[in-house]
Amino acid sequence: MSESANTIQFFTGFRFNDLGFLAEAAGNTLLISVISISIGSVLGCLFGWALHVSVLARYILGSVLDIFRSVPLIIQLLLFFNFFPILGLPLEPFAAGCIVLIFYTSALVAQVARGGIEAVPDSMRRASRSLGMSYLQDMRYVVWPIGARAMLPAWTGVALGVLKDSALVSVLGYLELLRASQILITRTQEPFIILAIVGAFYFALSYPIGKLSAKLEQRWQYD
């Protein structure tokens, strides 16, 4: 039949090249997660310190950060993404996703950091101050080493959570792992295989970090 020569092929099977496409998308997932986790953690530690030090901050900053933890991330992303065009400054999906994830991370890390600071016994800090250390020295040489160890498991949990939650930025149109999977599924019509591969990518990103942190935690216990 001459018709068959003109038939357009809508769907094509899963090809080896597609793994490269998925790997690139995994790189994007990693990029947005690393940026938001690193900046968010620094901010979160500052917020956590503020929550620990000042009662006023506990009321004002605490309740603001509480909003980030009580509203679904997807709603935060959509709100933020739709808010900037109102101001006349449309944002790229990547930028909007980064900003929301940074604040989301910092809200979660603030709580963890505050717990870490409070895990250092008061008597220890008084001892360091009475040995002549300044407040900053006390923070740097006493509170940080002990607090960081205390907060490591919870911080890893937050970091892995953000790595996985970065999947939601796909809703804004950022080409990360999950969005790449949607594109491939539309083309190949093989959702099961592709979702399994994408799951394996996420697993490969997340599982080693969790194991590493568990190992570190165990080692630090006997120091």
Partner 1 sequence: MLDASLNSDIQLKLFISLASLLSSGTHMDYTFHWRPVIKALPDLFSAALVTLEAAVLSMLLGIIFGLVLALMRLHGSRPLSLFATVWIELARNTPALLQLFFFGFGLGAFGWHLTPFTIVLCGLAFNNAGYLAENFRGGFQAIPAPQYKAARSLGMSATQTYTRIIIPQVFRLVYYPMTNQMVWAVLMSSLGMLVGFRELSGETQFLASNTFRLFEFFLAAAVFYYLLVKLILLAAHLLSRRLFTY
Interacting residue ranges for partner 1, rule: CB under 8 A:
67, 70-76, 78-79, 81-83, 85-86, 88, 90, 93, 160, 164-165, 167-168, 170-173, 178-179, 181-182, 185-186, 190-193, 195-196, 198-199, 202-203, 206-207, 210
Judged by beta carbon, residue 49 or residue 201, the one nearer partner 1 is 201
Q: What is the DSSP string of 30-48?
A: HHHHHHHHHHHHHHHHHHH
Q: What are phi and psi of 124, to 5 degrees?
A: -65, -40
CB of 104 to partner 1, least distance (A): 11
Residue type, 7: T
Q: Which is nearer to partner 1, 114 or 125 (CB)?
A: 114
CB 73 within 8 A of CB 100: yes
d(CA 146, CA 82): 42
Minimum distance, C-beta of residue 213 to partner 1, in the bound complex (Å): 13
Nearer to partner 1, 142 or 167 (CB): 167
Tell me the closest approach of the beta carbon of residue 76 to partner 1, in angstroms. 7
Cα separation, 136 vs 170, whole angstroms: 42
Angle CA 116–62–67, to nearest 5: 115
Give least dist CB 137 to partner 1, A: 35
Nearest to 43 by CA among 87, 95, 104: 104
Q: Using the minimum distance from each CB to partner 1, give the nearer residue, 142 or 151.
A: 151
Nearest distance from residue 7's CB to partner 1, in Å? 20
142 token code pair: 């006493």
**Which residue, 142 or 177, has its beta carbon nearer to partner 1?**
177
